[in-house]
Amino acid sequence: MSDKIPVTVLTGYLGAGKTTLLNRILTEQHGKKYAVIVNEFGEIGIDNDLVVGADEEVFEMNNGCICCTVRGDLIRIIEGLMKRRGKFDAIIVETTGLADPAPVAQTFFVDQDVSDKARLDAVVTVADAKWLTERLKDAPEAKNQIAFADVIILNKTDLVSPEELAEVEARIRAINPYATLHRTQRAAVPLDAVLGRNAFDLDRILAIEPAFLEEGEGHHHHHDHDHDHDHGCGPGCAHDHGGLKHYHDEHMQSVSIKLGEVDPEKFMPWINDLTQREGPKILRSKGILAFKNEPKRFVFQGVHMILDGDLQRDWKPGEERQSRLVFIGRDLDAEMIRAGAQACAA
Amino acid sequence: MSSPTPSITSLTQFVVEHAAGEHVVAAAFLKQTPTLALADGSVLLIVGEGAARKVEAHPDAGILTAASDGAALVTGGDDGRVVRTTADGATEEVGNSKGRWIDALAVSPSGALAWAAGKIVTARDDKGRLRTWQAPSTPQGLCFAPKGYRVAVSHYNGVSLWFPNTEAEPEKLEWKGSHLDVTWSADGRFVVTSMQENSLHGWRLPEKADMRMTGYPSKTRSFSWSHDGNWLATSGADAAIVWPFSSKEGPMGKPPRECGIRPAKVSRVAFHPGALVLAVGYEDGFILLVRLNDGAELLVRKADPERGAVTALAWDKRGKHLVFGTEGGAAGVLTLPA
């Protein structure tokens, strides 16, 4: 009937400040009404008749795809909410601190009834500046949440020194160089930085410009904060690139690829095969492709094995017809992915 | 035989429309009164042509699910309440699962009812005694056995058949995946669920033999058994898919009937209580009556995409009237010409 309801997924490890951010969203005067799906009742400090308790029931789909999991409770709750869609403007889904964001995100692509009525706006991850580095070592969930994020709220920055802050940011960037990062105290962030991001909208994937890529290519780096050189080389060695500490996470990494025009006849089978085979390891993927003899940009993004892609706007006059791809995942074979992408060159 | 006409016979002049104004969750006849459960928490009793009485069954809340035994409409809300509304407009709270949504609800002809809120299923017998059982995962569907005080609970990886009055663990009907709605045949021999993966699954009892019914382009969210128990009509395709259950094996190896093929998906089905005539509601608001024997069609309502999918369809006991409601708040009553 009318437009799809935007859904923001709020993740973050235990104690990072998710509930603080949620309470801020619900109490701030913004003239919008949110239906909030929470995992634990009672944490929300205010009355809202559209706060719904969820059980985080993750279901496997019987479609032969092992990583194709959905949140069964979410399907049911969204179906229920849609009966009263005039009551709210958007939906926020809060996940538990230990949750994997993938089943939530996949629900919006896999379930037809949900995707007909709601669309994923962004995955927002709240991270604790003081403890995230530790959690990245001992909690795979925390790493997943960072890897998955479109927006990262690096909270409690008042509890760390500038050096520690630089350290934790470098750790985040080693896993996810693409998410928009906001440094906050008490989760104080402008709400438009969190809501209405359209991060899953193909039309909004305007550029894929990871900080490191720019820097590695000698562009001016906008993260111009003061850094020192006495950091310890812990697990995941850090080396200095003259701007930002550059870590390699042992298990979670991103692979970004730049190439010229590609042949769609080669690219489509390759990306489908890659995501089918490596889907369990690939958390997120995005790409802007210049197909040979195609005036429009082809844009895609994916969550594990699920891909969504379309021809988008025309390449602008003078715009370099360049293809860019990024994969964020666990134990990715970067060389294999790179070689596969290169072989699609037109 | 009359000459062929391009359009099907129309009953639209026998339909009286009533603006419900809200998403219609369910419809029923309480004796002769067409009654609608609305998403805004109210129950609408249609008391005469163009006259309706609105009962606030769930004040400041919404209705998520409803079921009727013909004497009352029982509604489950996002306020955790289960409310019984009768044709005189009286309401009675018959259950309360505080703070939880009522996800599923079923009533038995004898006046018992069962509802699910979170993982907890509560059964209330005709004397008001409550029993609860915790399902292995959140139940999505409930229905009563045709005989005896027994509830089928559909959930992830199967169905549990629960005797509320015994301590015994419910009997399990297993099949991997997420089961949505559940229905039990009148002879008690078949339990059928709709599934997340756009298919049906059935079990033949007591052997628990599996039956798979696939090929749907979307989920089945509406079932209806024919009065003789020989047919199960289902929604979810571009026609009502009607499976034959007359033989001992059920529909296995037999093709289903496809009734009312249109370029729109069927959203609700309701068999006539005394004839092999199926009311079929579509996602574009279109409603047809289809005679099963020869596929003859009668038009009840034209497409009205503005006011959305048909979300509720119910016949009265004698099969003289059909009440319907839509997602966008349209509703009406068909009175079959004598």
Reduce the secondary structure of A51-104 to three states and give it as a string.
EEECCCCEEECCCCCCCCEEEHHHHHHHHHHHCCHHHCCEEEEECCCCCCHHHH
User: What does pLDDT average to over chain A?
Assistant: 83
Instruction: Say how many CB pairs under 8 Å bridge A and B.
Output: 66
Q: What is the dihedral of CA A41, A43, A46, A47, to 10 degrees?
A: 10
Task: Give the start-to-end residue ranges of the domains of chain A.
Answer: 5-199, 252-344
pLDDT on residue A222: 37
Are the beta carbons of A52 and B78 separated by less than 8 Å?
Answer: yes
Which residues on B lie below 8 Å from A49 (Cβ)? 60-61
Query: Can you give the pTM of this predicted structure?
Result: 0.87
pLDDT of residue A210: 56
Q: What is the pLDDT of residues B201-241, one digit of tens each?
A: 999 999 999 999 999 999 999 999 999 999 999 999 999 99
Cβ-contact B259, B290 below 8 angstroms: yes
HSE of B33, CA atoms in CB hemisphere, 13 A: 22
Which among A49, A63, A76 has CB closest to B60?
A49
- pLDDT for A216 equals 34
| Contact criterion met (CB < 8 Å) for A41 and B61 | no
pLDDT at B102: 96
Q: Which CATH superfamily is domain A252-344 in?
A: CobW-like, C-terminal domain (3.30.1220.10)
C-alpha distances in Å from residue A224, one per residue of A160, A162, A217, A228, A242? 18, 13, 16, 12, 10
The two domains A5-199 and A252-344 share their CATH topology (first three levels equal): no
Q: What percent of chain B has pLDDT over 90?
A: 91
Q: Would you call B137 and A72 a contact, using CB atoms and an 8 Å cutoff?
A: yes
Structure letter (DSSP) for residue B255: P
Q: Which of A84, A85, A109 to mutate to test the interface with B (most CBs of B within 10 A)?
A: A84
Mean pLDDT of chain B: 94
Which residue out of A62, A70, A77 would a mutagenesis test of the B interface target, given it has the greatest number of B Cβ atoms within 10 Å?
Answer: A62
Q: Residues in chain B whose beta carbon is closer than 8 A to a beta carbon of chain A?
A: 23, 25, 39-40, 60-62, 64, 78, 99-101, 103, 118-119, 137-138, 140, 156, 176-178, 195-197, 218-219, 306, 308, 327-328
**Chain A partners within 8 Å of B176 (Cβ):** 60, 62
The residue in chain A having the minimum alpha-carbon distance to the alpha carbon of residue B236 is A113
Give me the residue from B64, B138, B197 closest to A80, CB to CB: B64
B185: DSSP letter = -
For residues A109 and A202, the answer to whether their CB atoms sit within 8 Å is no
pLDDT band at residue B265 under the 50/70/90 scheme: very high
What are all long-range contacts of A233-242, with beta carbons under 8 Å and residues at least 24 apart? A235/A137, A236/A171, A236/A174, A238/A170, A241/A212, A241/A215, A241/A216, A242/A215
Contact of A53 with chain B, judged by CB distance below 8 Å, is answered with: yes
Residue B103, burial from CB neighbour count under 10 angstroms (0-12, 13-18, 19+) = buried
Residue in the structure block whose two tokens are 């996800």: B103
Percent helix, percent strand, percent coil in chain B, to nearest 5: 0, 55, 45
CA distance A44 to chain B (A): 14
CB contact under 8 A, B308 and A1: yes
Q: Which residue has the higher pLDDT, B192 or A236?
A: B192
% of chain B with per-residue pLDDT over 70: 98
Minimal Cα–Cα distance from B161 to chain A, Å?
A: 21
pLDDT at A203: 67
Q: Which residues in chain A are contacts of B308 at CB distance < 8 A?
A: 1
Query: Cβ contact (<8 Å) for A70 and B100?
Result: no
A49 touches B at CB < 8 Å: yes
Inter-residue contact A223 to A243 (CB < 8 Å): yes
B56 — pLDDT class (breaks 50, 70, 90): very high
* Cα distance between residue B148 and residue A298, in whole Å: 60
Q: How far is CA B171 from CA B146, B152, B162, B164, B226, in A?
A: 16, 9, 7, 12, 27
**Regions of chain A with pLDDT less than 50:** 1-2, 211-242
Give the closest of A1, A75, A83 to B62, CB-based. Answer: A83
Put simply, the answer to whether A84 touches B308 (Cβ < 8 Å) is no
So what's the pLDDT on residue A23? 87
CATH fold for domain A5-199: Rossmann fold (3.40.50)
Give CA–CA dist A29/A17, Å, rounded: 20
Contact state of B138 with A62 under an 8 Å Cβ cutoff: no
Partners of residue A113 in chain B, C-beta under 8 Å: 218-219
> Looking at the predicted structure, is the pLDDT value of residue B338 above 90?
no
Contacts of A68 in chain B (CB under 8 A): none
With H, G, I as helix, E, B as strand and everything else as coil, classify residue B108: coil
3-class SS of residue B305: helix
